[in-house]
A and B are shown apart, each in its own frame.
Chain A
Amino acid sequence: MLTIENYTKHYNGVLALQIPQLALPKGIFWIKGQNGSGKTTLFKSIAGLLPYEGSIQLEQGFSGKTQPQAYRMLINFGEAEPVFPDFLTAKDLVNFIAITKKASPAQKEKLINTLGITDFYHKPCGTYSSGMLKKLSLALAFLGNPALIILDEPLITLDDQTVQKVYTLINEYYASGVGFLLSSHQNFGFSSLAIQATYVVSQQTIHLQHEL
């Protein structure tokens, strides 16, 4: 699904994360780590939001550096604490990202209904609660035909009902061949998700903790 080689990330000359080699087959992976360990840095690098040294490549052969457009078509990202410009509505964002990610109207409709965005679809993000922002961010992360979806803390600020819907969505997408990288401080229900392995980000690198 994903291969990382000679990856290093510095902030102002200070090493934040270093991964000499990591190959992840298709599956659902749980990335753990304490606050500030570098999980989000890793996720943002894979999603193409942060520059880094080294290479990150998808099994389809696309690299974030050499084929930025094709690579980004296959990777979606949901932020831990999403922020969007206050004046944009959920509709603006969903339509914009659906066009760029080539999502079908049916998929768009399904995600809006499943995650309960309908009620605030036409309202600007500046009026949203943190839970509403999270739902919108998750809907955007599931749009299109990705090969990998990265969800940083997907369950925080969500109500129990929506958490179950997120589990269902992950399982549906996984069944259709989509891989996942998830991070969470909460325990994922192992019975709900087929987590393939757990990795821990600590001491500026990533270690395999548990494989099922």
Chain B
Amino acid sequence: MLYRSKPSICSMSYRSIYKVLIRTVCVEYYRLNAGFFFVIIAFAFGLLRPIEHIAIATYLVHSHFLMALVFGLWTVYTLKTIQFTLRTFAQEENLFLHNIYLLPTAVKFSGMLLVQFILYEPIVLYSAFMGYYAIHFGQLSSLLLLGIFNLVTISGAAAYYVYRLPYMTAEKKQNRLSTYLDQHFTKPYFTFFLYQVLQKQRSLYFLTKLFSLFLLTGTVKLYTYENFSPVLLALGGLMAFSTNAILCFHFNRFEQLDVLIFKNLPLSLYKRFFNNTVTYLGLLVPEILLLMRHLAGDIDVWLGLQLVFFGLSLQLIFHGYVLFRQLDLEKFIRHVFFLVIFYFVSLLFRIPILLLFAVNGVTAFFIYQKYFYQAEVIILKDSPEE
């Protein structure tokens, strides 16, 4: 007769399962997003003083409307974490994780709850900060809302993972539109990375654009408010376009890893550089559309065009910089921070935007033609970004 002990949720055997989940999903998440969190921290603690943080938290807990906006932002973040977890489970090397499906539902749920809680921790911390001020000002309804929102979000995501577990495979399904397009059209070269971003790095793309458009909208509003100062517009544009640096990094990696075989093709460097420029134009479409909306109205057409050219040249410089230095994502984002400071100071000294565009363009091409064939991405086992 076989006796099987029934382990509790916290027993040793389940703890080892939780440990594997944390290592494969949570640790990887923070390693891959170190640059993203660095930018958020640099932005939050670099631009705002503690007193301003407290003021913001105070405003938020006093207005349910503002809290709803914050909840919207947190939902976007939650979607990013969910997408990451689903993608991690779908990767070939993580197929062993699917054995979790064989465990009792309570264990599956608690494991995924733990995973989601760790991924969601930055928001939990900020919620605690807001909760403190909600108690301080006696805003108990806000405190209750905070608690309910976080509880529902974390447990909802965990329940969704448990529901999706049997289907989280690497199997690819194609929708009818994609099938039709694939049968009738051939994708041009310059669209390859656009497809890559929109299909495999969707959340990264949308979060980047959200942040960039948020900065650009604020800049345009300030521009009209502050007597139409071109320097202010250029500075805001610089910040907005620089948030796309993360896409430049991934474009470079795409060129060096995913389509490395294309290096074998007899394409001239001019043509490759031109294709990259067109790809970047495609990536900047949301920013261009936003500026176009304000062109001839709030912004001078010529100034708007200069800003677009400058933004495009920044992408090419960032692309060249990755090619030249071959940094990992975390280091690259730090370097971008200093590059942005350089451009910030240059603009403060009223160096013409067109001159910066021209210098950037020439430098970017010089770097590209010098380092394109020289560049080599060596992925070490412990490399954080891939």
Interface residue ranges, A against B (CB under 8 Å): 11-12, 47-51, 64-65, 68-73, 75-77, 79, 82-89, 91-92, 95-97, 100-101, 122-124, 126-127, 140
Q: Beyond A69-B267, A71-B266, list 10 extra A-B contacts (CB 8 Å).
A: A69-B268, A75-B264, A86-B172, A89-B187, A91-B182, A124-B172, A124-B174, A124-B182, A127-B174, A140-B261
Measured between alpha carbons, how far is A71 from B264 in the docked complex, in Å?
A: 9
Partner of A100, one of B174, B179, B258, B265: B265
Min CB–CB distance B282 → chain A (angstroms): 15
Measured between alpha carbons, how far is A89 from B254 in the docked complex, in Å?
A: 17
Mask: chain B, 163-199; 1 = CB below 8 Å from A; 0 = not? 0000000001010001100110011010010011001
Are A95 and B186 also in contact (CB < 8 A) when A51-B374, A86-B200 are?
yes
Measured between alpha carbons, how far is A103 from B376 in the docked complex, in Å?
A: 29
Measured between alpha carbons, how far is A188 from B269 in the docked complex, in Å?
A: 38
Q: Output the nearest chain B residue to A89 by Cβ-Cβ distance.
A: B182
Which 10 A-B residue pairs are closest in the complex by CB-CB distance?
A: A73-B266, A126-B172, A72-B266, A100-B265, A87-B195, A122-B183, A95-B186, A51-B374, A92-B187, A69-B266
Are A87 and B264 also in contact (CB < 8 A) when A126-B172, A127-B172 are?
no
Mask: chain B, 371-386; 1 = CB below 8 Å from A; 0 = not? 0011110100000000
Q: Which residues of A contact B182 (CB under 8 A)?
A: 89, 91-92, 122-124
Q: Which residues of B contact A88 (CB under 8 A)?
A: 187, 192, 195
Q: Could you jot down 11 A-B contacts, CB within 8 Å?
A: A12-B378, A47-B263, A49-B264, A72-B265, A82-B261, A87-B199, A87-B200, A91-B182, A96-B186, A123-B174, A124-B174
Min CB–CB distance B92 → chain A (angstroms): 11
Measured between alpha carbons, how far is A148 from B174 in the docked complex, in Å?
A: 37
Measured between alpha carbons, how far is A68 from B265 in the docked complex, in Å?
A: 9
Min CB–CB distance B91 → chain A (angstroms): 12
Interface residue ranges, B against A (CB under 8 Å): 172, 174, 178-179, 182-183, 186-187, 189, 192, 195-196, 199-200, 254, 258-261, 263-269, 373-376, 378
Min CB–CB distance B184 → chain A (angstroms): 9
Q: Output the nearest chain A residue to B196 by Cβ-Cβ distance.
A: A85
Partner of A51, one of B178, B199, B269, B375: B375
Q: Is the CB of A91 within 8 A of B266?
A: no
Q: Is the CB of B373 within 8 A of A77?
A: no
Q: Is the CB of A85 within 8 A of B174?
A: no
Min CB–CB distance A121 → chain B (angstroms): 9
Q: Which residues of A contact B378 (CB under 8 A)?
A: 11-12
Q: Which residues of A contact B267 (CB under 8 A)?
A: 69, 72, 100
Measured between alpha carbons, how far is A11 from B378 in the docked complex, in Å?
A: 8
Q: Which residues of B contact A89 (CB under 8 A)?
A: 182, 187
Q: Is the CB of A91 within 8 A of B172?
A: no
Min CB–CB distance A145 → chain B (angstroms): 11
Measured between alpha carbons, how far is A123 from B173 in the docked complex, in Å?
A: 11
Q: Which residues of B contact A127 (CB under 8 A)?
A: 172, 174
Measured between alpha carbons, how far is A10 from B374 in the docked complex, in Å?
A: 13
Measured between alpha carbons, how far is A73 from B199 in the docked complex, in Å?
A: 31
Q: Which residues of A contact B259 (CB under 8 A)?
A: 84-85
Measured between alpha carbons, how far is A92 from B267 in the docked complex, in Å?
A: 17
Measured between alpha carbons, how far is A136 from B179 in the docked complex, in Å?
A: 19
Are A124 and B178 also in contact (CB < 8 A) when A47-B264, A100-B266 are?
yes
Q: Is the CB of A48 within 8 A of B263?
A: yes
Measured between alpha carbons, how far is A64 from B258 in the docked complex, in Å?
A: 21
Measured between alpha carbons, how far is A40 from B354 in the docked complex, in Å?
A: 46
Min CB–CB distance A84 → chain B (angstroms): 8
Q: Which residues of B contact A77 (CB under 8 A)?
A: 261, 264
Q: Which residues of A contact B186 (CB under 8 A)?
A: 91-92, 95-96
Min CB–CB distance A56 → chain B (angstroms): 12
Q: Which residues of B contact A126 (CB under 8 A)?
A: 172
Min CB–CB distance A170 → chain B (angstroms): 19
Are A97 and B174 also in contact (CB < 8 A) when A68-B373, A85-B258, A124-B182 are?
no
Are A49 and B178 also in contact (CB < 8 A) when A85-B196, A100-B265, A100-B266 are?
no
Q: Output the nearest chain B residue to A79 by Cβ-Cβ distance.
A: B261
Q: Output the nearest chain B residue to A82 by Cβ-Cβ distance.
A: B261
